Amino acid sequence: MKLIIIGAGPGGYETAVAAARKGLDVTLVTAGPLGGTCLNEGCIPTKCFCHDAHLHHLLSGMLNPSDSDSDRSATSSVPDDALAGMVARKDAVVEQLRSGVESLLKGVEIVHGIARIVNAHTVHVWPTEAESAADMSLSPEFDSGREYTADRIIIATGSHPAWLNVPGAVDTPGVLSSSDMLRLKELPKRLTVIGGGVIGLEFASVFASLGSKVTVIEYCRTILPHFDADLAKRLKQSLTKSGISILTGTEVTGISAAQETYSDEPHAVGCRTENGSSADADCGNAPDWHPVQIVTVRSGEKTSAVVSDKVLMAVGRVADTRVITGCKGIEADRKGIRVDDNMQTTLPGVYAIGDVNGRMMLAHAATFQGRVALEHILRDCASGSEGSLQGGTDVPQHCCSSAIRLDIMPAAVFTVPEVAVVGLTEEDCKEKGIAFKALKSFYRANGKALASEAPEGYCKLIVAQPAQPNLRDGQILGCHILGSGASDLIGEITALMNFNATVSELRSIIHPHPTLSEIIQSCVAM
């Protein structure tokens, strides 16, 4: 069987490796470097920045033990060469991992180009140097590129940053995407982050730790609006304590460029042109003037402005569905390409995994969705409908989606402190009519946390109580952790939830001492 996978992010390349090992003839098409957004401009680069910023923050605390977090952030900016060093280390890590991905893909045909699906068995690929995929014709008379055919197609094209639809958002200099932030050569003294979700808060935490004065603007009444409300509240308090200004329930109404002069007066802004340009004939060339961005906001009836050197647009991501342009039979909505529980689109034989289907925009979710899609394809092969396949007789005769718990997909936010969650929140349980109990333990009572100077945080378990239809008494329904190492700790609870474990079963697990994992154990202590 021949399989084409479009997109080389975690979902795409890991599915390609797995399919090749099963004996499929795999072609992987990518418009960008191997590893996709996650490896090159997302998960990995940002975690490099998070790590380096956290180290800087800890070092500043050791050198200035009497300073508060907010004072430390205001006075301990990293020099530009240090920021350049962070970028260089990030690039080195990315290159190392990208080489690893390339070695894993031996035996997979890799095609670099811009793909469009013609029908259920045909993909046309243009060279990457093509100016715009939108300008490419999908008529039968292709004037460039090449056609590839396959028995099955998997779409794994991911997503791209969303952009706020307000005046000045697109054309104002200094308004940056998350990718742009990773290439900064100078640390902005003031940074405005539009969006209080995962991406926005991670960058806010990083640049505040490096010394930037950060303001976060969130339209909803709370940051991380889809997370546990108690956790979001505690994280907001922590980030505010670190010097980050957070404006919730606040709407951005416009963005404009201006010139600011150095003055004893705060936010002394002048010489803004009518069209919002940062250039001005009278003062634009003066040495004591520099460009800034003005973000106008509205909260209730009150209108105000936030002045900063850079603005990060972090209002979410949008599924990249351009691959299906002109293809009949594949349906999509505002969230992404429509798929069933097997990740199959409305065009039989074509699958969509990861961000592009809009179900769950997480790299590890894409990987597991790829397993679901591949298992469905392998099942068809094993039935004999698609010919012989190496190892095909060992393929289970049921769809993998029944075995993979996509409903308990963990997620993490790499702020300082970290956030990690899995499963239901208290609000979810109330909405679903599930009787539950919340069990808590706190970092300040943990020896390893105190020894590591990380006493801030807590762990909350959501458990069913009493037994209910389809639920065991004490069954773990969710976990929400705020604190150091949260992203690692959540894995234990996710594993337990995968097997519908209860509090009693968690209580029987021995955790090493002294470790942060004892915080989980403390939630269920007798």
Give the three-class secondary structure for 306.
Answer: strand
Give the three-class secondary structure for 417.
Answer: coil
CA torsion angle 95 99 101 105 (round to 10): 150
Point out which residues pair with 255 in neighbouring strands: 295
CA–CA dist 468, 418 (Å, integer): 33
Element (H, E) at 389: none
CA–CA dist 459, 231 (Å, integer): 9
Q: Enter the DSSP assignment of 84.
A: H
Which strands sit side by side in the sheet containing 2-6, from one edge to the other? 109-112, 25-30, 2-6, 152-155, 350-352
Q: Enter the DSSP assignment of 510.
A: P
Long-range interactions of 90-94: CB distance < 8 A, separation 24+: 90/45, 90/48, 90/49, 90/182, 93/44, 93/45, 93/48, 94/35, 94/39, 94/40, 94/44, 94/45
Helices (H), 226-284: 229-241
Catalytic annotation, residues: 513
Question: Quick check: 167 and 255 in contact, CB under 8 A?
Answer: yes
CA–CA dist 14, 405 (Å, integer): 19
Question: Quick check: 413 and 419 in contact, CB under 8 A?
Answer: yes
